[in-house]
Amino acid sequence: MIKPIPGKGRIIFHIDMNCFYASVEMAHNPKLKGKPLAIAGNPEERKGIVVTSSYEARAKGVKTTMPLWQAKKLCPELIVMRPHFERYRIASREIFKRLSDITPYVQPVSIDEGYMDVTESYLHRSPVDSAIELQQTLLKELDLPCSIGIAPNKFLAKMASDMKKPLGITVLRKRDIQHILWPLPVADMYGVGKKTAAKLNTIDVKTIGDLAQQDIYPLKQILGINGERLRNRANGIDTRPVDPDAIYEFKSIGSSQTLPHDTTDVTDIKRLLNQLGDNVERRMKRKAAAGKSVQLTIRYHDRRTITRSKKLQTYIESKEDILLVATDLLDKHWNLEPIRLLGITVQDVEEKQNIAKQLDLFTYEKVANREKLDSAIDELSQKYGKETFKSLSEPSQSSREEQQPKTSFQKDFLDDYKR
């Protein structure tokens, strides 16, 4: 972790790519530039929602998560494209490579945003000049626009990067927060969602300034420890380091998907469960992880959503084990009303290397035989190459792209730029 420079503090950049998916498509096909463009999960079915859109589309009222039919009503000339996840992944890798050329203290938080601690990198140079140079590098070399927030901590840098888009650079100092941040509605504060904002409104906290000056006790009463954390941030206090290893921290791995239509058809529902089980197992394998509880999410036709989970005695990782628990939860808790969305999440996840193997008499022989096989494969791989025994179950490049999440990414690719 970088220590602050005496008298100067830390210098944190928050990099936020502008309309990332749409910008990547425009870089790939310049003819799309200047046109209203939306990237949508599935244009042919109801689950086709807007994942992101260009500023030209946003000017017509098109917003993220908006159903396509509504977006097209607002903007009849809207160009709609399916997402190309592998294309976005490659672009993300190139972005973070360039950030890591500047400083080793880079923390990706999603495919299109991340933090940089540049305290040591710019001891004799203006951070603003450096941000301009970085912004221009990404634009010239990758044809991708971004906004950059500059601040003494992560929270203020994040707030700053949202203030000027596209291609904005904003400096937010602690001495500026009273006249820049405090007048804003509390719902505009990073880390405050609609439900939290509604709770804060009940104790007459309407603005970020109200939150900054509110007593700790009522905040803890309604929000627990998060109340104190949010109050600190409203006052510009955030001691979290920019941690390059944070991408390896995860406690759950899941997948969810909306059905093409509300249904009570058991065949359709079980088919989707099976697909979700595939997705979760694949992500568990990529993480070399296992978990000790399974959660099922059911969203009904009227958008009521329930979650039910089961804690297990042992760690599981296979699709078969995951589906066994998920199906049991469905059988017990589905009220037979039409289902709109299903989700499966494995929780209490740990990397397998951290899970002690407790072998009993029934599993010892199986594991011992497997270890002999693994040893033989290792020896032959050293002799003939690592690809010799590539798993037949490993999806091809094209199928991996097909199988990527429909509207968002997990964090299991965010260290690509280091490879």
Catalytic residues: 113
Cis? peptide before 166, omega within 30° of 0: yes
Structure token digits, residue 233: 């941030």
DSSP classification of residue 59: T
DSSP notation for 100-120: HHH-S-EEEEETTEEEEE-TT
| Bind-site residues for Mg(2+) | 16, 112
Angstrom distances, CA of residue 327 to CA of 73, 271, 291, 293, 299: 39, 11, 17, 14, 15
4 exposed, middle or buried (CB, 10 Å; 0-12, 13-18, 19+)?
exposed
Structure token digits, residue 161: 């990067």
CB 168 within 8 A of CB 147: yes
Contacts of 181 (CB under 8 A, 6+ apart): 159, 172, 189, 208, 209, 234, 236
| Bind-site residues | 16, 112
Alpha-carbon span 125 to 142, nearest angstrom: 25
Instruction: Give the residue from 17, 208, 183 showing the smallest Cα distance to 113.
Output: 17
